[in-house]
A and B are shown apart, each in its own frame.
Chain A
Amino acid sequence: AQTVTQSQPEMSVQEAETVTLSCTYDTSESDYYLFWYKQPPSRQMILVIRQEAYKQQNATENRFSVNFQKAAKSFSLKISDSQLGDAAMYFCAYRSDTGTASKLTFGTGTRLQVTL
């Protein structure tokens, strides 16, 4: 079974600075998807960024980018120019590429605080 590990329960960053959230995963599969989700206090899950394992290029979405190291099974999230609205729980998640019933496996989450 796949596992996702987030080793940072809490992180803090100053507004306008850059922060990197860590995620590692364990799998024997070669094709899969990785995600970062944000859960603000409203508890609505919001997709931040997605990476297909077959793509070597790291995904980027505006201020959010990932460092995907397939051999090391590492998938970190970098948030640049942090804003107060970035404060939330961030979950790393893994999905097998095995069809429509493929489920998400979540890490334990990292709580990000953004300070002035």
Chain B
Amino acid sequence: GAVVSQHPSRVICKSGTSVKIECRSLDFQATTMFWYRQFPKQSLMLMATSNEGSKATYEQGVEKDKFLINHASLTLSTLTVTSAHPEDSSFYICSASLLWTGTGGYTFGSGTRLTVV
């Protein structure tokens, strides 16, 4: 089946540094990737939608300069948290659209737990 590989699974970084999270589609081309943030015991909140070769569309309230999304190829999308601060600590999940399969569905990465100290 369609698999999205997300790395790293866990990362601890110092306040003020930047962290990059990668999502790779292993056996299909992901034209659209969605990036979510999930706080403990809460739901997934969409941060942005990225399409290969174009600028990402950010949800209201998400700082585009802080959460840089790049989708330069059909198999790789990255989220960079710039100048991270403790309040950016969260669980980040990517998801690729599988609409091309006719199922109307999505496949999710395994998530990245970011801790900013």
Contacts and interface: CB of A to CB of B under 8 A. Distances in A.
Chain A, interface SS category: loop
Contacts, number: 56
Given A95-B104, A100-B97, A43 B91 contact: yes
* Chain B interface extent, by class: 20 to 34
B32 A45 contact: no
Interface string A22-52: 0000000000010100000011110100101
A67 B49 CA distance: 31
Nearest to A99: B99
A107 to B, nearest CB: 7
Interface residues of A, number: 24
Interface of B: 31-32, 34, 38, 41-44, 46, 49, 51, 57, 91, 93, 95, 97, 99-100, 103-106, 108, 110-111
